[in-house]
């Protein structure tokens, strides 16, 4: 285990990184390690615990902004916002249990570092679309800020975008400002039963193309639906396709009816889930609950053009009949598990994605040895990889911050 420093503020973080850079001692940055299993395994002598840098600094509901320390728990933020009927619109997932950890341990800093997003992603964006500004420390040990604390700003480069999904390899964040939005008053989910994958994704596309403003579009093949904690879904005995509608009560009712009219032509039975059941189902989808167990199966997260989802899974299932999967983001996000294998089936998965219009595949869960041997993140063409290395150098020239977490050697 690395020796872990516990900074109490931005200056401490800067002092420590300055020292580490001078001594050439790489640092692991972490909060509560709820997503430690995500990314390449990296060994360092020292670690920096950002998890204790927590707390709300400023929250003004009417301004739609929230400023806080990165170690604040996502679950605490959601409670705070909920009291003012607001939310983080990117719907941060709780992935802890996917690696055998506890639920509700994820921090805001972790959500930013991994650029997380839930089922509302296709409509409302990911963390990247909600991080307005930050203060942090570069790998040079310099304190700087970027972005701002207002919702509309184009002053200078949009560095907040860069730290989202950078896995702590560019900046140690010490203060962040997020855009928040009103939470919907009501949520309902229209379910369609018994569609095959292709027909399901077509139905989801029809819903997304309609003017009824849907906010969740998922398809669960029969084996996945059977594992749901919602009786309507689990006992269906067939596949379940889910369309979420959010808004005021009158509006949600009217739009669900309109969607049911639209989907009659699909010729499959329809059902509607209300409040609690609806929320539960989308939490299961968001947190990939179906694939928590068994943990020795490798888990892939695949992002493709929505209509390509079924052709990607069909090709993989043909080569690996034991593949299990379900779709979020109208088909654009595929969660896929496969039995363990030396290369985690990376060649199969990535060549299939490339052959179906492109996208990217992340090796979301595998043992450490596999994650060290197989690129966890989608390999990039050389010109792009070189540019990414230069960007890394521009923040962290001594390669001090989370080295090797994203790409071997950097």
If the CB atoms of residues 182 and 229 are measured against another protein, the closer one turns out to be 182
The least CB distance from residue 389 to another protein, in Å, is: 9
Selected binder of another protein within 146, 218, 298, 346 (CB under 8 A): 146
Cα separations (Å) of 124 from 88, 109, 118? 10, 20, 10
Choose the binding region for another protein from 72-80, 93-101, 121-129, 187-195 (rule: CB under 8 A): 121-129
The C-alpha atoms of residue 279 and residue 229 are separated, in whole angstroms, by: 11
Strands (E), 93-139: 131-138
How many residues appear in the chain?
410
DSSP 23-61: HT--EEEESS-TTTTSS-----SEEEEGGGS--EEEEEG
Give which of 249, 272, 251 is closest to 260, Cα–Cα: 272
Choose the binding region for another protein from 192-200, 208-216, 220-228, 315-323 (rule: CB under 8 A): 208-216
If the CB atoms of residues 100 and 248 are measured against another protein, the closer one turns out to be 248
The C-alpha atoms of residue 84 and residue 181 are separated, in whole angstroms, by: 10
Determine, following the binding rule CB under 8 A, whether residue 395 of this chain makes contact with another protein. yes
Structure-token match 């290369």, residue found: 343
Determine, following the binding rule CB under 8 A, whether residue 231 of this chain makes contact with another protein. no
Determine, following the binding rule CB under 8 A, whether residue 209 of this chain makes contact with another protein. yes
Cβ atoms of 353 and 302 closer than 8 Å: yes
If the CB atoms of residues 146 and 173 are measured against another protein, the closer one turns out to be 146
The least CB distance from residue 296 to another protein, in Å, is: 25
If the CB atoms of residues 219 and 255 are measured against another protein, the closer one turns out to be 255
The structure tokens listed for 352 are 């299939």
Selected binder of another protein within 153, 234, 264, 293 (CB under 8 A): 153
Selected binder of another protein within 66, 68, 77, 166 (CB under 8 A): 166
The structure tokens listed for 92 are 């941060």
- Residues 64-103, interacting with another protein (CB under 8 A): 64-65, 84-86
Determine, following the binding rule CB under 8 A, whether residue 380 of this chain makes contact with another protein. yes
Burial of 380 (0-12, 13-18, 19+ CB in 10 A): middle
Q: How many residues bind another protein (CB under 8 A)?
A: 110
If the CB atoms of residues 87 and 233 are measured against another protein, the closer one turns out to be 87
Distance of CA 159 to the CA centre of its chain: 19
Determine, following the binding rule CB under 8 A, whether residue 156 of this chain makes contact with another protein. yes
Binding mask 280-319 for another protein (x = CB under 8 A): -----------------------xxxxx------------
Selected binder of another protein within 36, 42, 104, 143 (CB under 8 A): 143
Residue 159's Cβ-side half-sphere holds a number of Cα atoms within 13 Å equal to 22
């Amino acid at each position: 285990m690395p020796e872990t420093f516990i900074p109490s503020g931005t200056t401490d973080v800067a002092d420590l990184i300055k020292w580490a850079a001078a001594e050439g001692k790489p640092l692991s940055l972490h909060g509560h390690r709820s997503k430690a299993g995500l990314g390449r395994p990296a060994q360092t002598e020292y670690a920096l615990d950002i998890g204790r840098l927590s707390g709300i600094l400023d929250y003004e509901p009417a301004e739609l902004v929230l400023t806080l320390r990165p170690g604040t728990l996502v679950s605490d933020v959601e409670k705070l916002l909920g009291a003012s009927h607001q939310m983080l619109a990117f719907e941060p997932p709780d992935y802890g249990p996917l690696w055998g950890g506890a639920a509700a341990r994820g921090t805001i800093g972790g959500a930013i570092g991994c650029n997380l997003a839930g089922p509302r992603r296709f409509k409302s964006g990911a963390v990247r679309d909600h991080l307005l500004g930050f203060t942090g420390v570069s790998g040079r040990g310099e304190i700087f800020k970027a972005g701002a604390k207002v919702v509309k700003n184009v002053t200078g480069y949009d560095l907040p975008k860069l730290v989202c999904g950078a896995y702590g390899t560019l900046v140690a964040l010490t203060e962040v400002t997020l855009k928040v939005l009103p939470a919907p008053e009501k949520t309902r989910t229209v379910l369609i039963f018994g569609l095959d994958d292709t027909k399901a994704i077509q139905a989801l596309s029809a819903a997304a193309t309609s003017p009824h403003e849907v906010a969740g579009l998922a398809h669960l093949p029969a084996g996945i639906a059977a594992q749901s904690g919602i009786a309507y879904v689990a006992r269906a005995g067939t596949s379940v396709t889910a369309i979420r509608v959010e808004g005021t009560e009158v509006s949600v009712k009217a739009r669900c009816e309109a969607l049911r009219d639209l989907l009659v032509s699909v010729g499959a039975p329809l059902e509607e889930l209300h409040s609690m059941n609806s929320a539960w189902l989308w939490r299961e989808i968001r947190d990939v609950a179906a694939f928590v167990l068994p943990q020795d199966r490798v888990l892939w997260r695949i992002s493709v053009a929505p209509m390509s989802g079924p052709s990607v899974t069909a090709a993989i299932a043909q080569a690996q009949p034991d593949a299990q999967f379900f779709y979020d983001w109208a088909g654009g996000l595929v969660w896929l598990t496969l039995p363990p294998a030396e290369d985690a089936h990376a060649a199969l998965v990535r060549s299939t994605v490339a052959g179906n219009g492109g996208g990217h595949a992340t090796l979301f869960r595998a043992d450490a040895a596999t994650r060290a041997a197989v690129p966890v993140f989608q390999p990039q063409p050389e010109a792009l990889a070189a540019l990414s290395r230069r960007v890394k150098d521009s923040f962290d020239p001594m390669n001090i911050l989370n080295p090797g977490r994203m790409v071997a050697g950097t």
